[in-house]
Structure 1
Amino acid sequence: MTDPTWLAAQRRALVRFAANSVDPAGGFGWLDAAGERVPDKPVATWITARMTHVFALEDGLGDPDAAALVDHGVAALRGRLHDDEHGGWFSSVADTTKAAYEHSFVLLAACSAHAAGRPHAPELLAEALDVIETRFWDAEIGLPFESWDKAWTTTEAYRGANSTMHFVEAFLAAGDVTGDKIWHERALGLSERIIHVTAAAHGWRVPEHFSEDWRTDLNYNRDDQRHPFRPFGATIGHWLEWARLLLHVEAALGDKAPSWLLSDARALFDSSVRRGWGVDGHLGFIYTVDWDDLPVVRERMHWVMAEAIMAASALHRRTDEDPYADWYATFWEYARKNHIDPIGGWRHELAPNGSPSAGVWAGKPDTYHAYQATLFPLLPLAPAAALTSRQPFQSR
């Protein structure tokens, strides 16, 4: 497995790069390829929450500058990104939509900031849990709503696996930080519905898009195949991310974990490699495939490689099987050669031949996936990183 000292150096470099995203008005902004904040991009809740989470983890690892960055993020989530009238969080300072995706990351950030002991994090966490419980959790079917208008009067006639997946991540953290295991149980329920039932029925391809009654919509966005959050078809990187999350769910549940969590994680990883790795004649994972496994968007995304690294690491640690270690080494070799940029950060998107491109994602707005790829192979699968990053381990 990759040298922990090298991983730690990469992690610290990513944090230094991400610190450039501080917006003096509050929150964290979009970085361009050179690491400069793009002033005409509105501050977004998902970026601000992800960066707050990253800096909170880094605070646990002893970075003396991280606490101030966490506080900066918490202030924005309690300030300019928060709806003081109706509650909840806007998608950005320019968009009053209230979306599950953004709220999942507010909860994750609140958990990490609370574990870091930062001021006002308990209040942020309490409100995030309440808003998700009262606005996003559909208790009748045990799945989340996707989005609402500003006043919580109209919900979108769409349901998404992407936001559901990130609720799994956030619910695991919430269960660990608060001690309320209902969040672990809900993470299991979401995983069962999206993966054990739906993905299994589609040959270990994960459908991303659903109607409001949770019927799969396999043709969704056929005319907008490069949508950054809702692309047409199946997104290979999410299969890898789900594989990892299933192992976190298993570890969180302990003796109560069903056996299918491991077997489904294996199946998703195998499906990802078989249908996504180098299938167009070039190394790397293609971004999306159609339902006949034909490539749709062939660009290579940094976050997909980061999730591949973490999935392979998690499966190797869970099973001690050599093929997963081999894949882990292969994925890091690709990342070092193609994604890690000597000027800082990871190149977010690559053409199939490995050259930088920007057909879906421009710049380097997100350090969350790459940062976790440098840290999670050194942490146990449970409890959440919000807690384990604050415990001693090798080569901080």
Structure 2
Amino acid sequence: MGSIVIENASQRVAAPAVWHGALLTRADVQEPWQFDDGLWRSRIVEWLREAALPLWMDKGIDRDHGGFHEALAFDGNSLQKPKRMRTMARQIYAFSMASIHGWHDEADRCIAEGIDFLQRGRTRNGGWVRVLNPDGSVADPTEDAYDHACVLLALAHAHRAGNPDALQLGRETFDFIDEHLADPYGAGFLETPEGGEPRRANPHMHFLEAFLAWHEATGERCYLKRARGITDLFRLHFFEAESWTLGEFFDDNWARPRNAAGDWTEPGHHFEWASLLVDYAHRTGDTELFTYARKLYASAIANGLNRLTGLAFGAVSRSGLPLDQASRSWPQTEAVKAAIALDGTPGPDMKPEIEERMAHLFRWHIDPAPKGLWIDRYDEKGMAIATEVPASIFYHLITAFTLYLKGSK
């Protein structure tokens, strides 16, 4: 396959010619010292309204079997893949945000169709399966904590958008997690009703996100009480004060494993946790979390970036050695979110950092891709290695873009 050359400030990298977006030069990438607050506002609005939402509401919806396609090819055609519950939920979230902000007239219809399909994945216990086949039959009946957090997030925003079924489904999902996933000793949630190791910080991060969303949707403080249980776990077990890093995997007692899993950290999750901790702190007055959030951000920037591309690695060790040198799109969106969140806390001005992180997101993942799509993955040398466009990333992009638009008014 041929390639085109995309120029950045200090290096030349090749991207496959099929992604024939506009070539970029130094002038197209905003340098930190050329900071202009809200530089990307018009680009974001145009991309959402005229490119991404029309495409995903057309090609991303499965007209034959219902629900949403798990991924699209770079020509915009759907790929017949199993449909993960988390992806179905995240697309409902994305279209809910489009409805709430008035970005597309068909958003409410997409939400309703998505929730209708989602309910094919209900379990006898009132939970949700992990994976559906393309036709909507059950492929993996596991009741996974991560997926339930994603469903709760989607239903909170669907409720905000006015969907008539979302509130009751949300209540039923909370009943399920309280009865079947809550740790009997009060330490977070089990991976599945059957338990199992390793236990992961990541589902808990998404539960924190969902609880904050339900607080926003209803104003009820009971959801902040739920969120506090997650922030307590973060303080006690997830965060390592010596290295300013966030662990991913733990044993059944929330102890760090004495193997490679115990050394695994993900810069993208450092960013993601940082923005959520700041959100919780603003809602509750727990301002100690601002310090934790800045430490997470500083650790990820110092040790988690590929110095050739400026993109976050997939994973690094506690001491900053690269463990997964690929760079996906979602950590770059989370870096934007974290910088925006931290800009409202005591400390250095983050506005130049916000613009720089957004520039990296557009320069690598949006601009070289066909209209309305994105390049999800690069190797350590800056070569595009994505073979498809995963729908689950749309949630990350819309969240980052929404926060940016809100902050740049």
Q: TM-score range by the shorter chain?
A: 0.7 to 0.9
Whether the 8 Å contact between 2:374 and 2:389 is mirrored in structure 1 is: no
Query: Higher mean Cα deviation, 170-179 or 94-103?
Result: 170-179
Alignment of 1:63-82 (within 5 A): 63-78=104-119, 80-82=120-122
Alignment of 1:249-328 (within 5 A): 249-253=280-284, 257-279=285-307, 281-319=308-346, 321-322=348-349, 324-328=350-354
Per-residue CA deviations over 1:126-170 (Å, capped at 9, x if unaligned) read: 11121122222225324111113xxxxx22233110101000000
Whether the 8 Å contact between 1:111 and 1:174 is mirrored in structure 2 is: yes
Q: Which residue of 1 is the match for residue 391 of structure 2?
A: 365
Once the two structures are TM-superposed, the CA of residue 337 in structure 1 deviates from its matched residue by 1.3
**Partner Cα distance (1:218, 1:75) in 2:** 44
Q: Which residue of 2 is the match for residue 356 of structure 1?
A: 384
1:14 to 49, 52, 55: 52
Q: Which has the larger radius of gyration?
A: 2
Whether the 8 Å contact between 1:283 and 1:352 is mirrored in structure 2 is: no
Once the two structures are TM-superposed, the CA of residue 363 in structure 1 deviates from its matched residue by 3.0
Q: Does 1:95 align with 2:123?
A: no
How well do the aligned residues superpose, as a CA RMSD in angstroms?
2.2
Q: 1:7 to 1:169 in 2, by over 3 A?
A: same
**Partner Cα distance (1:354, 1:371) in 2:** 24
Q: Does 1:339 align with 2:365?
A: yes
Once the two structures are TM-superposed, the CA of residue 205 in structure 1 deviates from its matched residue by 1.0
Once the two structures are TM-superposed, the CA of residue 175 in structure 1 deviates from its matched residue by 2.2
Whether the 8 Å contact between 1:196 and 1:260 is mirrored in structure 2 is: no
**Partner Cα distance (2:238, 2:142) in 1:** 28
Q: 1:269 to 1:348 in 2, by over 3 A?
A: same
**Partner Cα distance (1:319, 1:54) in 2:** 31
Q: Which residue of 2 is the match for residue 108 of structure 1?
A: 153
Per-residue CA deviations over 1:98-143 (Å, capped at 9, x if unaligned) read: 1010000111111111111113122211111211222222253241
The AA in structure 2 aligned to 1:9 is E
Q: Does 1:137 align with 2:182?
A: yes
**Partner Cα distance (1:277, 1:73) in 2:** 36
Q: Which residue of 2 is the match for residue 5 of structure 1?
A: 42
The AA in structure 1 aligned to 2:110 is L
Q: TM-score, normalised by structure 1?
A: 0.84
Q: 1:210 to 1:221 in 2, by over 3 A?
A: closer
**Partner Cα distance (1:134, 1:252) in 2:** 27
Whether the 8 Å contact between 2:183 and 2:190 is mirrored in structure 1 is: yes
Q: TM-score, normalised by structure 2?
A: 0.82
Query: Higher mean Cα deviation, 313-322 or 298-307?
Result: 313-322
Q: Does 1:235 align with 2:280?
A: no
**Partner Cα distance (1:377, 1:218) in 2:** 40
Once the two structures are TM-superposed, the CA of residue 32 in structure 1 deviates from its matched residue by 3.0
Once the two structures are TM-superposed, the CA of residue 183 in structure 1 deviates from its matched residue by 1.8
Q: Which residue of 2 is the match for residue 86 of structure 1?
A: 125
Query: Higher mean Cα deviation, 99-108 or 14-23?
Result: 14-23
**Partner Cα distance (1:352, 1:14) in 2:** 27
Gaps of at least 5 residues in structure 2 are 1-36, 133-138
**Partner Cα distance (2:184, 2:239) in 1:** 22
**How many residues were matched structurally?**
358
**Partner Cα distance (1:185, 1:270) in 2:** 28
- Structure (1 or 2) with the greater strand fraction: 2
Per-residue CA deviations over 1:340-368 (Å, capped at 9, x if unaligned) read: 0243222111122332114xx85323211
**Partner Cα distance (2:378, 2:197) in 1:** 33
Once the two structures are TM-superposed, the CA of residue 243 in structure 1 deviates from its matched residue by 0.5
Whether the 8 Å contact between 2:125 and 2:176 is mirrored in structure 1 is: no
Once the two structures are TM-superposed, the CA of residue 262 in structure 1 deviates from its matched residue by 0.6
Q: Which residue of 1 is the match for residue 95 of structure 2?
A: 55
Percent of pairs identical after alignment? Answer: 28
Once the two structures are TM-superposed, the CA of residue 211 in structure 1 deviates from its matched residue by 1.4
Once the two structures are TM-superposed, the CA of residue 202 in structure 1 deviates from its matched residue by 4.9
Q: Which residue of 1 is the match for residue 233 of structure 2?
A: 193
**Partner Cα distance (2:148, 2:106) in 1:** 26
The AA in structure 2 aligned to 1:265 is A
**Partner Cα distance (2:249, 2:173) in 1:** 25
